[in-house]
Structure 1
Amino acid sequence: MIGQIIEKEHVIDYKIVPAEVDKTHSLQDKLLAAQRLGNEFKSKTTIVFQTEDGPKRIETTVWSLTERYIQIKSGVLIPLRSIIEVDY
């Protein structure tokens, strides 16, 4: 899995930019499953997303999913078009 590991609390310290390839549609099912895992089982998901400083990886609970963003702890939003990889 690619991406430098960072703490989820430090996501706000990085400028999130769109990934080279927008995987919003291909990752939709995985993101829905990650949201369900987070809400029903308090299970964490590994998410790799693109920043100006390169890919970053966090392990977090996905609290909610909209058409354009996922929401993690403390109301932090990550744009779907910036997500490179999702695993759980």
Structure 2
Amino acid sequence: MTAQIIEKERIGEYKIIPAEVDNTAVLYDKLRSAQRLGNEFKSKTTIVFQTEDGPKRIETTVWSLTDRYIQIKNGVLIPLKSIIKVSL
């Protein structure tokens, strides 16, 4: 799988859709670690998520995590069901 790299500020230009496979349960611990890294160390995480135009990849700080979404800069929410891969 090759994901196109985009600037996190451009996420709003894409329609985010659920990934082929819901990886929420598998990725939740990694996302929790990404949130801790972001809040405590201002460390960035690479996230690949599904859009109507195919997978997109961003490098960002995860500010918060709920049971349904991650929140990144400027209040942007990405549904957990759309996340394909997380790299710390």
Equivalent residue, structure 1, for 2:16: 16
Equivalent residue, structure 1, for 2:29: 29
Correspondences of 1:5-84 after superposition (within 5 Å): 5-84=5-84
Deviations 1:45-84 (A, max 9, x none): 0000000000000000000000000000000000000000
Larger relative helix fraction: 2
Shift of 1:2: 3.1
Q: TM-score, normalised by structure 2?
A: 0.98
Instruction: Decide whether the 8 Å contact of 1:50 with 1:83 is kept in 2.
Output: yes
**Counterpart-to-counterpart distance in 2, 1:65 and 1:13:** 22
Q: TM-score, normalised by structure 1?
A: 0.98
The answer for unaligned runs of 5 or more in structure 1 is: none
**Counterpart-to-counterpart distance in 2, 1:64 and 1:48:** 17
Structure 2 counterpart SS, 1:19 = coil
Structure 1 runs, 4 residues or longer, greater than 3 Å off: none
The answer for unaligned runs of 5 or more in structure 2 is: none
Matched letter for residue 35 of structure 2 = Q
**Counterpart-to-counterpart distance in 1, 2:74 and 2:32:** 19
Matched letter for residue 55 of structure 2 = P
How many pairs align?
88
